[in-house]
């Protein structure tokens, strides 16, 4: 069956679909990056100078914990280990079978695990298909 061409109207449908662990991990990494930037005094001062409000840091931290709690312990541990090792970049894109974190080639037969999470065999990062 041909895939339906995405339209602005269908965005709301897909965004409301249940999230798989990889999507949650991507949300988590985006949120961690936002928290890091918001906690950085220089970044925060610059954003404030432009007129952006940044007062909801605690609320965002709470949202981060709630999101993290939806992942199983093993997946969360994989994320945290890779995040610590690679300065917050636990998840990297994979494009044309190349891990864009280390440029390693991902074997053709590499399978997504039970949770649809594929790790780069060279660097151990979690891979996100662009």
Partner 1 sequence: MAVDVQTVLGTFVPSLFLPSLISRDKDGVLRELVGHVRASGLVREDAPLLEMLKSRERLGSTGIGHGIAVPHGRSLAVQHLVAGFAKHEKGVEWDSVDGEKVHLIFLILAPPVEMPNRYLPFLGRVVEAVSDPERRSKLVEVKSFPQFQDFLRHALT
Q: Does 103 bind partner 1 (CB under 8 A)?
A: no
- Dihedral sign, CA of 65, 55, 15, 5? negative
- How far is it, in rounded angstroms, from Cα 101 to Cα 106? 12
Range in contact with partner 1 (rule: CB under 8 A) among 47-55, 75-83, 106-114, 115-123: 47-55
- How far is it, in rounded angstroms, from Cα 35 to Cα 64? 9
Starting from the edge strand earliest in sequence, which strands make up the sheet with 98-99, in order?
A: 98-99, 91-95, 126-129, 118-119
Rounded-to-10 torsion of CA 41, 37, 89, 111: 160
Q: Lay out the site mask for partner 1 across 52-91 (x = CB under 8 A, - = otherwise).
A: xxxxxx-xx--x------------------------xx-x
Residue placing its CB nearer to partner 1 in the complex, 30 or 80: 30
Contact with partner 1 (CB under 8 A): which of 2, 3, 4, 9? 9
Range in contact with partner 1 (rule: CB under 8 A) among 7-15, 72-80, 103-111, 116-124: 7-15
- How far is it, in rounded angstroms, from Cα 119 to Cα 125? 6
Interface with partner 1 (CB under 8 A) = 5-12, 14-15, 17, 19, 23, 26-27, 29-31, 33-34, 37-38, 43, 46-47, 50-57, 59-60, 63, 88-89, 91-93, 128-130
């Amino acid at each position: 069956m041909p895939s339906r061409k995405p339209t602005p109207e269908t965005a709301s449908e897909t965004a409301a679909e249940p999230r798989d662990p990889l999507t949650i991990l991507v949300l988590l990494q985006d949120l961690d990056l936002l928290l890091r930037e918001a906690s950085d005094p220089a970044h925060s001062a610059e954003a404030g100078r432009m007129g952006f409000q940044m007062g909801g840091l605690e609320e965002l931290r709470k949202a981060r914990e709630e999101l993290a709690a939806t992942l199983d312990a093993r997946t969360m541990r994989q994320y945290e280990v890779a995040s610590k090792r690679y300065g917050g970049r636990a998840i990297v894109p994979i494009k044309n079978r190349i891990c864009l974190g280390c440029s390693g080639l991902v074997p053709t037969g590499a399978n997504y695990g039970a949770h649809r999470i594929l790790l780069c065999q060279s660097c151990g990062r979690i891979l996100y298909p662009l």
